[in-house]
Structure 1
Amino acid sequence: MSSLQCWQQLFGQSLSPLTPVHHPALQKHHLSLSIKRDDLLHPSISGNKWRKLKYVLRQAVSDRATGLLSFGGAWSNHLHALAAAGHALGLPTIGMVRGEPEYATNPTLSDARAWGMTLEFVDRQTYRRRHDSDFLADIARRHPGFYLIPEGGSCPLALPGMAELWQTLPPCDELLVPVASGGTLAGLLSARPAGTRITGYAVLKGKEWLSGTICDLFAPAATDNGWQLRLEHHGGGYAKCSATDRQAIAGLSSTLGVPLEPVYSGKAMLGLFRDIEAGFYPPGSRLVFVHTGGLQGARAQISAKRSGQAK
């Protein structure tokens, strides 16, 4: 089977269920909420990672890349998904990992290594250079023929895969989505229906730069009034979540009947319900929340906490 045929087999369908959910707060504030279960898109390449990598990897296949290289932390959903996709496509993968080599045995990176990914660990100072042209040029020289993909897969080619999500959604007043590197929200904005507003729940401290990153990825976002960022619900920063918030997320997961993790969708869902209780959304609003996956990362973090490696 050719690489293009493998790509078509891997990304041929984008079906994930839309699940209406119930919660006393929804009834109290006269709201309806459905969850787009993109966490069920693929067993190993779930959620927004599947959508953001779709056309990036088609370009890599078309360019006859000899391999794929990208960046991420020790519990990176992106690197996990890229390793699985590279394995399926028959392409070698390299992950530039922020952290120490001892993280190689955590569940995320163990899966990645099992799929053939080579891990290169770098310190935090070096990792900050991942956007520098000279640093990327040096990586390209060391790994000739490898297709370089930005952290999180957020780049212009990620946008059309995210835009396709709208084709499977019903009309709604508000589309709600977790936001980290910005590519997911930028892609959704690129095809936003006129009658739907997008609210992004930042899961990291992004007040100073996140809006700019989204506008860099999709320039018309700068003059589009149909979206907003909720910056108050990051819980202290990326991958940080207090014991109280973890308990609240677990309670939401049980009540809604949907698995949630405390880094992306769980943190965003908690922020959503705090906003609902505060009356942020007008009565009668039809809300759709995009579950962007990330459940494997929660598994990895639990393991790290048990071993004392979590940071």
Structure 2
Amino acid sequence: MQQVHFSEIADSGISLFIKREDKLHPFISGNKYRKLKYNLVEAKKQQKETLITFGGAYSNHIAAAAAASSQFGFKTIGVVRGEELADNLKEVLQQNPTLKFASKHKMQFHFVSRSAYREKTSQEFIDNLKEQFGDFYLVPEGGTNTFAVKGCEEILTDKDAVYDVICSSVGTGGTISGIINSTKKHQKTIGFPALKGDFLQNEIKKYVRTNKNWSLNTDYHFGGYAKVSERLIHFINKFKLETGIPLDPVYTGKMLFGIIDLIKKGYFEKGNSILAIHTGGLQGIEGMNVYLKKKNLVEII
């Protein structure tokens, strides 16, 4: 737990703390640790030897799943969006830090076209995977399922009841669902989606036990998943310089930008204490910097 002392909100009357879930594990950090925990337990229970999961070429989930599978004795196959990546895999692995990391942890890649990837939850797609790879335990894209939500319910503890507002970034909805399920009645939860649109409301409602005291703020996605701006990068760098806390540009950077902006706009009541959940994802900084360098933009420090 770390209190945030940041110049932009110094006189706001709001107390901001960050729960450093990014420090749980050097490779399986943040919400990925929580999401994978009970999925791995279930895979062992079912006596599965192979895990299959899904993600993009810079996916935090792909990296964490590879590391976790390696550490706990599973063979792992990553179904990765983008069939063109298979054309020159050796070169791709040199240029893509996420896939390079996953490969070092013995993940086998199965590259598919973007159109095929959209069908990844269909029974036909899964049956084709079974024909190619045999028996396996399937972990969904982003890791979100009932086992993931169960793990994310352990993010908050009774000690966290002192906070008025709990904030989390939102990708597939599993992390915030677990957080909502473990908040106290007096607490409000705010999610900051990295994706455009309001469709995540329905995804979250599949897993939560209440529709009260939580909301999604869709104003801070910066154009959508994995999209950034110079303003966001400057904020992330300033935040790290002042607080010592690194933020990833896809999830936690956008969430903290949103929280700070709302504080400055007077959204929260004076005297409120806010707990922001750092969901990790720091491995994505290196990949984002590759992109920023190509565009001659400021890189993340």
Query: How far apart are the structure 1 equivalents of 2:266 and 2:123?
Result: 46
Question: How far is the alpha carbon of 1:307 from its aligned partner?
Answer: 5.8
Give the corresponding residue for 2:80.
97
Gaps of 5+ in 1: 1-17
Question: How far is the alpha carbon of 1:196 from its aligned partner?
Answer: 1.2
Is 1:73–1:97's contact at 8 Å kept on the other side of the alignment? yes
Residue 73 (structure 1) aligned with residue 56 (structure 2): yes
Q: Return the match for 1:184 from 175, 190, 193.
A: 175
Residue 293 (structure 1) aligned with residue 280 (structure 2): yes
Give the corresponding residue for 2:155.
165
**CA-based RMSD:** 1.5
Give the corresponding residue for 2:298.
none
Is 2:232–2:253's contact at 8 Å kept on the other side of the alignment? no
Give the corresponding residue for 2:110.
120
Is 1:235–1:242's contact at 8 Å kept on the other side of the alignment? yes
Normalised by the length of structure 2, the TM-score is 0.91
Query: How far apart are the structure 2 equivalents of 1:72 and 1:183?
Result: 15
Over residues 47-85 of structure 1, what are the superposed CA-to-partner deviations in whole Å (9 max), with x where a residue is unaligned?
Answer: 000001100110001111121010001111101000001
Is 1:107–1:303's contact at 8 Å kept on the other side of the alignment? no
Distance 1:46 1:169, change over 3 A: farther
Query: How far apart are the structure 2 equivalents of 1:123 and 1:88?
Result: 30
Over residues 91-136 of structure 1, what are the superposed CA-to-partner deviations in whole Å (9 max), with x where a residue is unaligned?
Answer: 1100011123154431111010011000111121111111222212
Is 2:236–2:246's contact at 8 Å kept on the other side of the alignment? no
Question: How far is the alpha carbon of 1:142 from its aligned partner?
Answer: 2.4
Query: How far apart are the structure 1 equivalents of 2:158 and 2:25?
Result: 16
Task: Tell me the SS of whatever aligns to 2:156.
Answer: helix
Query: How far apart are the structure 2 equivalents of 1:169 and 1:289?
Result: 14
Give the corresponding residue for 2:200.
210
Where in structure 2 are the equivalents of 1:118-157 lying within 5 Å?
118-157=108-147
Query: How far apart are the structure 2 equivalents of 1:31 and 1:120?
Result: 48
Query: How far apart are the structure 1 equivalents of 2:143 and 2:36?
Result: 6
Query: How far apart are the structure 1 equivalents of 2:143 and 2:101?
Result: 19
Question: How far is the alpha carbon of 1:167 from its aligned partner?
Answer: 1.8
Over residues 25-66 of structure 1, what are the superposed CA-to-partner deviations in whole Å (9 max), with x where a residue is unaligned?
Answer: 433221001110000000010100000110011000111112
The one-letter amino acid paired with 1:299 is E
Q: Return the match for 1:276 from 263, 267, 278.
A: 263
Query: How far apart are the structure 2 equivalents of 1:168 and 1:129?
Result: 41
Normalised by the length of structure 1, the TM-score is 0.88
The one-letter amino acid paired with 1:275 is L
Of 121-130 and 298-307, the range deviating more from structure 2: 298-307
The one-letter amino acid paired with 1:203 is A
The one-letter amino acid paired with 1:200 is G
Question: How far is the alpha carbon of 1:305 from its aligned partner?
Answer: 4.2
The one-letter amino acid paired with 1:260 is L
Of 286-295 and 169-178, the range deviating more from structure 2: 169-178
Is 1:25–1:276's contact at 8 Å kept on the other side of the alignment? no
Q: Return the match for 1:110 from 100, 111, 114.
A: 100
Query: How far apart are the structure 2 equivalents of 1:259 and 1:169?
Result: 24
Query: How far apart are the structure 1 equivalents of 2:235 and 2:253?
Result: 9
Question: How far is the alpha carbon of 1:212 from its aligned partner?
Answer: 0.7
Gaps of 5+ in 2: 296-301
Query: How far apart are the structure 2 equivalents of 1:125 and 1:275?
Result: 38
Distance 1:203 1:254, change over 3 A: same
Give the corresponding residue for 1:260.
247
Question: How far is the alpha carbon of 1:236 from its aligned partner?
Answer: 0.4
Q: Return the match for 1:199 from 190, 200, 221.
A: 190
Task: Tell me the SS of whatever aligns to 1:295.
Answer: coil
How many residue pairs were aligned? Answer: 287
Question: How far is the alpha carbon of 1:175 from its aligned partner?
Answer: 0.5
Query: How far apart are the structure 1 equivalents of 2:159 and 2:112?
Result: 40
> Which 4+ residue blocks in structure 1 deviate beyond 3 angstroms?
24-27, 102-105, 304-308
Query: How far apart are the structure 2 equivalents of 1:166 and 1:243?
Result: 33
